[in-house]
Amino acid sequence: MNFVGIDTGGTFTDFVCLTEAGLRIHKVLSTPRAPEQAILRGIAELGLDGAELIIVHGSTVATNAVLEGKGVRTVFITNHGLRDLLTIGRQARRALYDLQPPPEPPPVARELCLETGGRLGARGEVVTPLSAADLAELRAAVHSLAPRAVAINLLFSLLDESFEREVAAAMPADVFVARSSAVLPEYKEYERGIATWLNASVGPLVEDYLARLTHALRSAHISVMQSSGDTIAAAQAGAQAVRMLLSGPAGGLAAVRRLGADSGCHHLLSFDMGGTSTDVALIEGEPRLSGEGRIGGYPVAVPMVDMHTIGAGGGSIACLDDGGLVRVGPASAGADPGPACYGRGGLAPTVTDANLVLGRLPLDGFLGGRMRLDRAAAAQALAGIAASLGLSAEDAAMGIVRIANEHMAQALRVISVQRGIDPRGYTLASFGGAGGLHVCALAEALDITRALVPVHAGVLSALGMLVAPRGRQLSRSVARPLREFSAADIEHGLGGLIARGRAELFEERVSERDISVTRTLDLRYQGQSHSLNVEWEDPARCAAAFHELHRRRYGHALEQPLELVNLRVGLRAPAPDLRIAPPPAPDRPAAPRARTDLYGIAAGAAVYARAELACGQRIEGPALITEPVATTYLAPGWSCRRDDTGNLRLTRGAPDPVTAGG
């Protein structure tokens, strides 16, 4: 059997293939207009056409559609008086002190927002019935508007989904339908409505894409990574498209957690820099889940790995703003045409072009030698900015890299310093195709002295697909005082969610004995807006755990009644027990393959092939460490050694003890 992890990014599509012969890695340029074409090309280049495959796939189809505003035409159906719900939102300004923010287009055009009956009260009682006339009027309106998808978000439908089911049944058979009671049965009608609309607007795109992929790979069993770090069968993924918005990055966190633990590093700041974006997260044990993520400015309240994403990657475009200052990103050259140095017609200067001009990328080692980079084209792309600033191309390149570094350092501060966490006690784990070029500078910016570049860092998200479990994260709002619930009431509510999750996993042929279950409650003091999550034991112990967690988090606890907001369950089946052995290492320390010129460093730098490094071999910066799918720039003042797991351990200042943890 062949196991293949695939991560489709904005610039590259990465492959990790595990067969009886061992592990193989591969990378091809993405094909954003038809992502399956890059996958089929990579499968063919790996010689796996027609082979029996188990594929776990991280897809950006949903993410890109949201970020680029290219979802399908969607009708939003809600109760009378709530037509403008998604447009009004929370009335929160993006810039706190900007009292006159520019108007933003509504998520759904007003003419596509329909109102109807079927309104429930806060206790689930019927306030306005849903009549046959209401359904007929909705059906006629949807027919005349001719949408491709419908999002249904009736008030308090989380308490009783029958009205939403009736509306869904009345919709045309060829229209994709998303119900809020199925997508996110939780309180907060705005967040629930946004999640349902996002699911509807990208669901048909995901379904069509996965249908094309599964048709082309008929002999393969295909699963898709969800934002929570669990996988779901491709046949079920379209209906849950909103849960795929962090599909690829979630795979990277799964892999870096495992590989970091192999090297004794359990407290990590992860930094995933690809061609289009950079994702950062904090890892202590299992990656944290959050219900307060945002994508493209929209709140996404479904469970997803807790990370911060910015538009800074190797393909990020540099330009001069109206004030003559250099800006880097968020626009990207993507895969077509890509950075100027790819020689595919790109003219705009990018971070990759800047790194090449600085000498930090080898000209002939890109993609394992399958693509030669064009330094002259990179320098030409930088010439305009350089001339405007009165600088050399090299000085302009250094400025672009420093600005990109500051963007990424600020993202790392968001998930550490701004949460009261001192990053100096963590190891900075860098991966993604461009991460190794910036890891030393980012560590220095946060005063971190230890860094980790995992084995196969250039395709780590694809590797993470192979070590991710199958699973579901389900929730249901109740929002009543905790004292009104008996232990049996809560057990009954959790049991219903568990039964639903098990049924979905049974469809993926998961055995009941393989499913592990976690049960938690969201609690808050009555009158609060935000809740804290605690493990379910019994009402009294949960209350005590909440008070203690509130004291640790906020410095105090209150003598106030508690409110039970949400019931949550997580179901997981173990990932395939794949033995991923570290790459072989030679017995003798490797000598440099060459020396190269580095801008600003008179003596230049030695160039090493990562595959040739012996276990325990130490290298002093400045140096370049190359591999087929990534390059690590070891800056002056840093040292590096390859440990027995294949990971690179980087240390600033004093040498890193061989037995050190992180």
Q: What is the pLDDT of residue 578?
A: 64
Chain centroid to CA 457: 16
Q: What is the pLDDT of residue 659?
A: 38
The verdict on 145 and 195 lying in the same domain is yes
Higher per-residue pLDDT: 467 or 423: 423
**CATH code of the domain in which 559 resides:** 3.30.1490
Split at pLDDT 50, 70, 90, the class of 117 is very high
Determine the average pLDDT of the residues in 641-647: 90
Q: Please report whether residue 337 resides in a domain.
A: no
Split at pLDDT 50, 70, 90, the class of 530 is confident
Query: Could you tell me the end-to-end alpha-carbon distance of the chain, in angstroms, rounded to an integer?
Result: 36
How many C-beta atoms surround the C-beta of residue 27 within 10 A? Answer: 27
Token look-up 């002939």 returns: 364
The verdict on 61 and 75 lying in the same domain is no
Q: Please report whether residue 50 resides in a domain.
A: yes
Token look-up 């895969």 returns: 335
Global pTM reads: 0.81
Most confident residue range from 32-41, 73-82, 364-373: 73-82
Determine the average pLDDT of the residues in 466-472: 84
Q: What is the pLDDT of residue 343?
A: 86
Q: Is the pLDDT of residue 656 over 60?
A: no
The verdict on 103 and 15 lying in the same domain is no
- Domain-terminating residue out of 573, 608, 642: 573
Q: What is the pLDDT of residue 471?
A: 87
Count of the separate structural domains present in the chain: 3
The verdict on 137 and 241 lying in the same domain is no
The verdict on 239 and 126 lying in the same domain is no
Q: Write down the mean pLDDT value for the chain.
A: 88
Longest Cα separation, the chain: 82
Q: Is the pLDDT of residue 57 over 70?
A: yes
Q: Which residues contact 356 (CB under 8 A, 6 or more apart)?
A: 341, 363, 373, 375, 378
**CATH code of the domain in which 73 resides:** 3.40.50
Strand partners, 66: none
The verdict on 110 and 141 lying in the same domain is yes
Q: Is the pLDDT of residue 540 over 50?
A: yes
Q: Is the pLDDT of residue 376 over 60?
A: yes
User: Which residues constitute the domain of residue 532?
Assistant: 470-573
The verdict on 150 and 170 lying in the same domain is yes
Q: What is the pLDDT of residues 558-576, one digit of tens each?
A: 999 999 999 999 998 887 6
Q: What is the pLDDT of residue 338?
A: 85
Q: Please report whether residue 512 resides in a domain.
A: yes
Q: What is the pLDDT of residue 577?
A: 66
- Domain-terminating residue out of 224, 247, 270: 247
Q: What length does the chain have?
A: 662
Smallest CA-to-CA distance from 53 within 102, 4, 13 is with: 4
- Domain-terminating residue out of 573, 595, 629: 573
The verdict on 117 and 15 lying in the same domain is no
The verdict on 80 and 130 lying in the same domain is yes
> For 577, what's the count of Cα atoms within 13 Å in the CB-facing half-sphere?
1
**CATH code of the domain in which 234 resides:** 3.30.420.40
Q: Which residues contact 646 (CB under 8 A, 6 or more apart)?
A: 455, 582, 583, 585
Rounded distance, CA 232 to CA 462, Å?
A: 16
Q: Please report whether residue 46 resides in a domain.
A: yes
Split at pLDDT 50, 70, 90, the class of 658 is very low
Q: Please report whether residue 195 resides in a domain.
A: yes
Determine the average pLDDT of the residues in 482-505: 94
> How does DSSP classify residue 350?
B
The verdict on 515 and 545 lying in the same domain is yes
The verdict on 161 and 91 lying in the same domain is yes
Q: Is the pLDDT of residue 380 over 90?
A: yes
Q: What is the pLDDT of residue 173?
A: 92
The verdict on 56 and 117 lying in the same domain is no
Of the listed ranges 9-18, 61-70, 170-179, the one predicted with least confidence: 61-70
Q: What is the pLDDT of residues 445-458, one digit of tens each?
A: 999 999 999 998 88
Q: Please report whether residue 378 resides in a domain.
A: no
Q: Please report whether residue 277 resides in a domain.
A: no
Q: What is the pLDDT of residue 41?
A: 93
